Amino acid sequence: MTKLFIDDERFPVTDDWVIVRSSKQAIAWVQTYGIPTHISFDHDLGGDDTSRVFIQWLTDQLIDEKLKFPPNFSFTVHSQNPIGARWIQGTMDGLVKNFG
């Protein structure tokens, strides 16, 4: 099981995560290794960067059938930005429902 932790500052509670600090790093990681079995999202990634950039890229990849969710894919949102967290939750719920 591969777990991707997208956050510009924080660290996961356990050490079994791959940590990326920007949407660019998240995209590069998924381009190299594919979609992990679990992703934990922060919304705000420093400056103007957010996880929305990664999720919009992921959406395009799923629509174009360049990527597929692995079996039993799951995600969590650990962002402290309530509006951003709701956007991630809703958008990812829709992606999993339609492409999972």
The pLDDT of residue 54? 98
Distance (Å, rounded) from C-alpha 61 to C-alpha 67?
6
- How crowded is residue 25: how many other Cβ atoms within 10 Å of its Cβ? 18
Rounded to 5 degrees, φ, ψ at 12 are -70, 160
Give the single-character DSSP code of 72.
T
User: Can you tell me whether residue 75 is helix, strand or coil?
Assistant: strand
The pLDDT of residue 1? 74
Do the Cβ atoms of 27 and 13 come closer than 8 Å? no
pLDDT, averaged in runs of 10, over the chain (100 residues): 95 96 98 98 98 98 98 97 98 97
- With residue 27 as reference, give the H or E element that holds it: helix 23-33
Residues contacting 62, CB < 8 A, separation 6+: 68, 69, 95, 98, 99
The pLDDT of residue 98? 97
